[in-house]
Structure 1
């Protein structure tokens, strides 16, 4: 059993560029070449998923890198079938690295006769043979309790704090804004990291997906406002909040979002909105439209995921990556003065 030695990485098709970046980052840290396990993850003509691993993985500490983003069902099935292939090939331990955990928004019953899909997905992952999960910014923290196995939930806010310090020189002019009451904890945590003020956009819905009214709670006049959230899907609420902040006297409005789902009209909305910049991570592989958008910028997550994988393999602390002093050197290439 090679647990504790050099881990092996395997990737599905959800976000291969991120998997390759993680492998390069780990190669840099270990001083030896770390590549992705040679395997094929393909579809039959009827779209069934087929996996074949070409390397010996017996007794290895395996890490499968696979976001369950759009198409969520296909990517989830790839993860489960890759896990089954590794388990039947006698891998010592299988950890699922799920940068973006799909179905996380269905974490409770909001009305009668609806599912708790996040719990169902957790059961599928555990049943497939995965022994540990590494993810980033779960939509709801209680999803960790849906698993009867260890879940390491990384946070984007320490990385965002490094980026903000690097790109904004006058931190005393910044106000961190939560786009809804439910995200206040996330916004407060970032505000404390950079020593900024806090404001909230209170929204009231007339129907699901429709915002009837929005009100700003807090002082935003003559301030640089930074909206912080975990998911941006169609960007409707985000762009409305940005417009409201500008109308309330904000000098600039920026947004930092952990997972840029950016479906449907999202990119067009962001491009035409009051947002000066939208910063997302690469937990979801950006589309060509996202990459080409003039006011969308992408922050890499390979450094933090690569270090977290090494820490798990060596049996050392993952929560140490929440501290600026530990994370700063990991991101020194991107933020040399952090």
Structure 2
């Protein structure tokens, strides 16, 4: 049954522009003004985080929009403290909207005496009073099982499919989707099926961690427009080398579609100087000025998808409907007009 109260949004400092875009989009859907709850999230001189909510939230359905991106620890603590402030203010339900889930790459023990930090973060979020999580493209799907509360994991691939259909219109027969490693095959295959294109793999072998010794292309990419698909781009070393290997193996163009543009130094410079014609990322992490000014980096908005997901959660309707390109088409109609 739909809730009797309106959904209310609150944002930390991690990605305020995305939170404001979600609020604007929800205002369009609801036909009433949906703004961010008036609050302050600031730091004392010793960098302790302090949160004060200026509006009454008693019994309200609250959504905290806060990716846990760089600086990951600060943004995670902001999220936890905001949740605690809302819980102590008698909010009806608290949902954490985490477009980029930090610590997701630490989802298993890779060697002896190492932590599973993603599980620790899940415990912290639950203990802080969060009752539901909405995120996008978790690095590992099993992280949903780390929580004992509902987790809705959205996918960027339906939006990427819309973007590819729009920008490669008339040339889809020349497109080939590429997984940058064996572990990402499922993600790449899913997008390849959406757009009806073949799949190839770049197999990488490391002699030691952080160093790529060799890359081999599994599949024929000759005369193909290659699209590399992955969930995270950090320093872009692997991505740029994979693009070069594809060109060396006969690809005519290389483009990349990456959900979360972490883009730590020197990633932007590497991408600018690479053979990639374009890198498409979402705004799950607030882009820096360097990212926004790079000529071969393009940003796809996620606010329409998150706004609809929040409304579906609030109304008690299906979130999984947003997994389909046909469902997202009308939501992104102004950006990707239908034929």
Q: Same fold (TM over 0.5)?
A: yes
Q: Deviations along 1:86-125, whole A, 9 cap, x unmatched? A: 0000000000000000000000000010000000000000
Give secondary structure in 2 for the equivalent of 1:279.
Answer: strand
CA distance in 2, matches of 1:259, 1:93: 28
Give secondary structure in 2 for the equivalent of 1:229.
Answer: strand
Give secondary structure in 2 for the equivalent of 1:26.
Answer: helix
Structure 1 residue ranges, 4+ long, deviating more than 4 angstroms after superposition = none
Q: Which residue pairs with 2:79 in the alignment?
A: 79
CA distance in 1, matches of 2:60, 2:77: 22
Q: Which residue pairs with 2:54 in the alignment?
A: 54
- CA spacing shift, 1:291–1:206, aligned 2, 3 Å: same
Count how many residue pairs are aligned between Structure 1 and Structure 2. Answer: 338
CA distance in 2, matches of 1:6, 1:196: 42
Q: Deviations along 1:311-331, whole A, 9 cap, x unmatched? A: 000000000001122110011
- Please state how far the C-alpha of 1:4 moved relative to its aligned partner: 5.3
**Does structure 2 conserve the Cα–Cα contact (< 8 Å) formed by 1:5 and 1:314?**
no
User: Any unmatched runs of 5+ in structure 2?
Assistant: none
Q: Which residue pairs with 1:222 in the alignment?
A: 223
CA RMSD of aligned residues (A): 1.1
Q: Deviations along 1:44-76, whole A, 9 cap, x unmatched? A: 000000000000000000000000000000000
2:6 corresponds to 1:6:
yes
Give secondary structure in 1 for the equivalent of 2:313.
Answer: helix
Within 5 Å, give how 1:1-338 maps onto structure 2.
3=3, 5-169=5-169, 170-337=171-338
**Does structure 2 conserve the Cα–Cα contact (< 8 Å) formed by 1:119 and 1:143?**
yes
User: Any unmatched runs of 5+ in structure 1?
Assistant: none
TM-score normalised by L of structure 1: 0.99
- Please state how far the C-alpha of 1:5 moved relative to its aligned partner: 3.5
CA distance in 1, matches of 2:100, 2:41: 19
**Does structure 2 conserve the Cα–Cα contact (< 8 Å) formed by 1:3 and 1:93?**
no
Give secondary structure in 2 for the equivalent of 1:145.
Answer: helix
- Please state how far the C-alpha of 1:219 moved relative to its aligned partner: 1.3
CA distance in 1, matches of 2:328, 2:12: 27
**Does structure 2 conserve the Cα–Cα contact (< 8 Å) formed by 1:4 and 1:313?**
no
CA distance in 2, matches of 1:331, 1:219: 34
